[in-house]
C-alpha cells in the first residue's frame, strides 16, 4: 500500500457528477469535487484529526494528481486541508 511521507496526504477524490436535472454535462464542463477520502497521511502532518478513511475538504487548485495502478490520487499538503468530516463525533 502507498504510504504518504513528510507533510503530504494522499486523497482519493470523490467521483464527479456528470448529470444535473437530467442533463448530461460534458467532461470538460464538470467541476471536480473538493472532497475526497483520505487514503494515507504523512508522518509530518501536524493535525492528528487528519486520518486515513476520513472525508477531507479542500480548496480547488490545491495539490497535484498522480495516476498509478489504475487509481488517481490527489496529493495535497496536510495544512491545505480545510475540513474533516468526522463521523465518529456525530
Partner 1 sequence: MIGANNKILVEVDLDQKDTITIGGITLSTAGKFDTNYREKSPTVAKVIKGNDTVHSSDILLCHHNLFYMPSPYHVEGNLFSIPFSNILFAKIDAEGNITPICDNLICSRIIIPTDLPLPPEHQKTYDKVYNVEIGNEKYFKDDIVFTRPSAGYDIVYVVNGQEKRITKVDSTHICGVLRK
Binding footprint of partner 1 on the chain (CB under 8 A): 1-6, 8, 10, 40, 42, 64, 66-68, 73, 75
Q: What angle do CA 84, 34, 59 make, to 5 degrees?
A: 85
Q: What are phi and psi of 80, to 5 degrees?
A: -85, -10
Burial of 75 (0-12, 13-18, 19+ CB in 10 A): middle
Nine-digit cell at 67? 495516476
* Minimum distance from residue 12 beta carbon to partner 1 (Å): 13
* Minimum distance from residue 67 beta carbon to partner 1 (Å): 7
d(CA 57, CA 12): 12
Quick one: 35 or 40, whose CB is closer to partner 1? 40
* Minimum distance from residue 23 beta carbon to partner 1 (Å): 33
Quick one: 46 or 88, whose CB is closer to partner 1? 46
Quick one: 40 or 62, whose CB is closer to partner 1? 40
Amino acid at each position: 500500500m502507498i504510504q504518504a511521507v513528510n507533510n503530504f496526504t494522499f486523497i482519493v477524490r470523490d467521483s464527479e457528477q456528470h448529470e444535473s436535472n437530467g442533463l448530461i454535462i460534458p467532461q470538460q464542463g464538470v467541476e471536480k469535487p473538493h472532497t475526497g477520502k483520505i487514503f494515507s497521511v504523512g508522518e509530518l502532518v501536524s493535525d492528528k484529526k487528519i486520518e486515513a478513511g476520513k472525508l477531507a475538504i479542500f480548496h480547488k487548485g490545491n495539490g497535484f494528481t498522480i495516476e498509478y495502478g489504475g487509481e488517481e490520487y490527489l496529493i495535497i499538503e496536510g495544512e491545505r486541508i480545510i475540513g474533516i468530516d468526522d463521523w465518529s463525533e456525530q
